Amino acid sequence: MLLLPALSALAQDCSLDLSGYITDTDTKEKLSGATVLIRETSQFMIAQSNGFYRFERLCPGTYTLVVAHVNCDTLRVVVKLDTTTRQDLQLPHSRKQLETVTITGERKQDIATNAITEIKARQLFSVSGQTLGESLKSIPGLNSIQTGPSVSKPVIHGLHSNRLLILNNGIRQEGQQWGTEHAPEIDPFIASKITVIKGAASVRYGSDAIVGVVLVEPKALNPEKKLQGETNLVAGSNGRAGAVSGLAEGKLTGALNGFNWRMQGTLKRAGNFRTAHYYLKNTGLAEDDFSLGSNYKNKKENFGAEVYYSGFHNKVGIFEGSHVGNVADLDAAFKRERPLTASFFSYDINRTYQDIHHQLLKIASFYKIKNAGKIEAVYAYQKNKRDEYDIDLPYSSDPETLKLPQVSFQIKTHTLDLVYHPEVKNNFTATYGVSGSTQGNVFKGIRYLVPNFRNYGGGAFAIERYTKKKLSVEAGVRYDYRWLRVYKLNNNTLETYYNTHTYQNITGTVGNTYRFNDKFSVSANIGSAWRAPSVNELYINGIHLSAASYEKGDSSLRSERSYNFTLSSRYETNRFFAEIVLYDNIINNFIYAKPALQPITLINGTFPLFNYTQADVNLRGLDLELQYSPVSQLAVNSKVSIVRGWNKDIKDYLVFMPADRLDNTLKYQPGNWHTLQNCYISLQNITVLRQTRVPPNSDYVPPPKGYSLFNVSAGFEHPVKHKIFSVELAAYNVTNVAYRDYLNRFRYYADDLGMNIVLRTKLTF
């Protein structure tokens, strides 16, 4: 079967040439060092310095050219060859322009006037093996809140957890997002692109999108071959960490034409991580994830369906030195130069640890109605199980009880979304949708933390956009309803009783983008977002072990609402790029844990008491990125992130706001060297200032002093037959600085990570 097309080709005139020039769409520059691969024949070549490429002795037929360049997005072009052909190729510049999204054939964001940034291709490769939270820190305005080296959550414009929405392959990630030590249960290796929308985006995505949305998106399942894929291998010196990830996909032929399949899996392992001077005991990690997907498109391409299933499982050790019983322990831990725990390397994961399972099933389909647009239906089911084992065994002589986690949550979520995109008419594009969800939470545990609950949610939205020449204007509106019933047990009568809460909100967005010319554009967006209080804010009543605090919820809390103003501007020429984002996010009824004046005394000691309450706050800030290339081989890039959080009710700063951050990179890209392509070497400095704007009595210790880290990385791509082999060697914190970061909750107990040398390889076949 496989030989047939080749045989029939033999009979033909196989002497055709395919050649042309490769240029950058935006800068019109000839792209030297661009690589061109013919998928069908696996022929591979590198364009000359004037951007010229040429394939000889080709048979007539249809070929897929895959064109790649370090500065550009990969382009796929189908060429039908029946005579010697000149085919010039234009590569879209891989800047964050939304325009490039359409060129590569992917869907535009439904709300386009927010500040949107994408991480993909080479950038994504350079963060492979890291947690999702860490991967995003290269984007101005983003940070991560950490609980030790392996638990990290993204922070956008100062806020995180359930004020930020994460979409895993299009589905809202639903777990116990409220906890700062509850990292997103997503394998970043599934993504070929991570998109970050900075700004209130409830209109499209529903509640919780107060500061933004992170979309973790796999590559569209549209393989050109019967079997293709990639393998990633990442090894890190710190924690002696390793990750292996593989992806295989293909299209089916014959009777099953139209069907594609994909399998993907990741294994990760790490042992005790090391700070500049000592190991952190019990900080290992073991993770195993997989995903399976299949889709179908009919011949007319007006109907398609997709099934996707992913399983995530990890076991994360929690640094032993972070275990404190009460404030006296915490104070003692903070006063120590270094933790009392023994400093050694081990892969063992002992108590305290988290054991987390997350499963996602997605079934989606679309139908294109002739001259009327496209309708999409997406159903998803998620099951999240989180078990947390404290350092202590429970007090019991029953062997079964001794094995139980102290805290165990299970949450199951069903969601159904229907979206309709009418045909583009008279420069108008639109998106209409309805969505529904239900969620059941079951808490089991020895320490009471949060109650069981059931919730139902429903919403409907409409977004319209008008685009003409230099101007595009968009507006949207949404209505959401949420019903929450909380089940609790009366400890004396052992009878279950319940409380019911309902929330409803209308949100809206308006925005416009004006393109003065192809170099300069300005966007403005006003958006609103909301979120219902989470169950911990309503009902928590107990000790937060890793923070040595006692938290009390308030069941009368109301919805939180934000009004976000974003102004962004971009200027881009051949040699210069600048983007500035200014924002003011006004959040009314902002829910936070307010320190009480009196501590609470319990049998296990004295704890500061925090009561959940609401206030009107605002977060203002600036994200800035500048890049200058004096010559094409050299680029200087600077990023600045500044955020200020202010509580208007108590007239003081908000606690735990990211400190000002500067990220400067000098990159040298000599291009090709012998058989190696796209070689580069870069030096990066990350400087984080001390956070000086903190309210009194909200934290145990003052914020740590600022720090400055140096990172070095070098990499290249190497074509091996029809495969592409990518390599990067990076060293982080090369000067092995001992530092502590304000947003790492383990800064009370230990330094942050010391030097880490990471080797990344990727083979695309």
Name the DSSP letter for residue 74.
-
Mode of pairing for the β-strands spanning 549-552 and 609-628: parallel
* Residue with Cβ nearer another protein (4 or 603): 603
* Residue with Cβ nearer another protein (529 or 543): 543
Give the list of residues 6+ apart from residue 535 with CB closer than 8 angstroms, or none: 178, 441, 450, 451, 453, 484, 486
Number of residues this chain uses to bind another protein (CB under 8 A): 58
Residue 391 makes contact with another protein by CB under 8 A: yes
| Stretch in the footprint of another protein (CB under 8 A) among 59-67, 212-220, 230-238, 410-418 | 410-418
User: Scanning residues 417 to 436, which ones bind another protein (CB under 8 A)?
Assistant: 418, 436
Q: Dihedral of CA 553/556/559/562: which sign?
A: negative
Q: Which of 400, 597, 696, 721 binds another protein (CB under 8 A)?
A: 400
Cα–Cα distances in Å, from 192 out to 73, 84, 130, 189, 567? 12, 35, 14, 8, 28
Rounded to the nearest whole angstrom, what is the least distance from the CB of residue 699 to another protein in the complex? Answer: 20
Residue 372 makes contact with another protein by CB under 8 A: no
Helix (H, G, I), strand (E, B) or coil at 133: helix
* Residue with Cβ nearer another protein (603 or 631): 603
CA gap 321, 342 in Å, rounded = 9
CA gap 423, 704 in Å, rounded = 55
Which structure tokens are listed for 354?
A: 């988290």
Residue 522 makes contact with another protein by CB under 8 A: no
Residue 398 makes contact with another protein by CB under 8 A: yes
Give the list of residues 6+ apart from residue 556 with CB closer than 8 angstroms, or none: none
Rounded to the nearest whole angstrom, what is the least distance from the CB of residue 443 to another protein in the complex? Answer: 8
| Stretch in the footprint of another protein (CB under 8 A) among 414-422, 457-465, 581-589, 655-663 | 414-422
Q: Which of 50, 84, 102, 396 binds another protein (CB under 8 A)?
A: 396
Rounded to the nearest whole angstrom, what is the least distance from the CB of residue 340 to another protein in the complex? Answer: 5
Rounded to the nearest whole angstrom, what is the least distance from the CB of residue 213 to another protein in the complex? Answer: 24
Q: Dihedral of CA 631/633/636/637: which sign?
A: positive
Residue 599 makes contact with another protein by CB under 8 A: no
Asked if residue 388 lies in contact with residue 405, where contact means CB atoms within 8 angstroms, the answer is yes
Asked if residue 691 lies in contact with residue 655, where contact means CB atoms within 8 angstroms, the answer is no
| Stretch in the footprint of another protein (CB under 8 A) among 155-163, 306-314, 397-405, 756-764 | 397-405
Task: Show the site string, 336-365: x = touches another protein by CB under 8 A, - = not.
Answer: ----xxx--------x-------------x
Phi-psi category of 469—alpha, beta or left, where left has phi over 0 and alpha has psi -120 to 50?
Answer: left
Q: Which of 233, 446, 731, 737 binds another protein (CB under 8 A)?
A: 446
Residue 603 makes contact with another protein by CB under 8 A: yes
* Residue with Cβ nearer another protein (1 or 400): 400
Residue 351 is inside which H or E element, if any? none
Rounded to the nearest whole angstrom, what is the least distance from the CB of residue 744 to another protein in the complex? Answer: 20
Residue 290's nearest CA partner among 258, 319, 313 is 313
Rounded to the nearest whole angstrom, what is the least distance from the CB of residue 37 to another protein in the complex? Answer: 37
Rg of the chain's alpha carbons, rounded to an integer?
Answer: 27
Q: Which of 329, 464, 616, 699 binds another protein (CB under 8 A)?
A: 329
Residue 440 makes contact with another protein by CB under 8 A: yes
| Stretch in the footprint of another protein (CB under 8 A) among 74-82, 471-479, 482-490, 504-512 | 482-490
Q: Which of 83, 371, 491, 500 binds another protein (CB under 8 A)?
A: 491
Residue 715 is inside which H or E element, if any? strand 707-720
Residue 694 makes contact with another protein by CB under 8 A: no
Give the list of residues 6+ apart from residue 15 with CB closer than 8 angstroms, or none: 57
Residue 392 makes contact with another protein by CB under 8 A: yes
Phi-psi category of 70—alpha, beta or left, where left has phi over 0 and alpha has psi -120 to 50?
Answer: alpha
CA gap 602, 327 in Å, rounded = 11
Residue 309 makes contact with another protein by CB under 8 A: no
Residue numbers of the site for another protein (CB under 8 A)? 303, 320, 323-326, 328-329, 332, 340-342, 351, 365, 367, 369, 375, 377, 379, 391-398, 400-401, 404, 410, 412, 414, 416, 418, 436, 438, 440-442, 444, 446, 451-454, 487-489, 491, 494, 496, 601-606
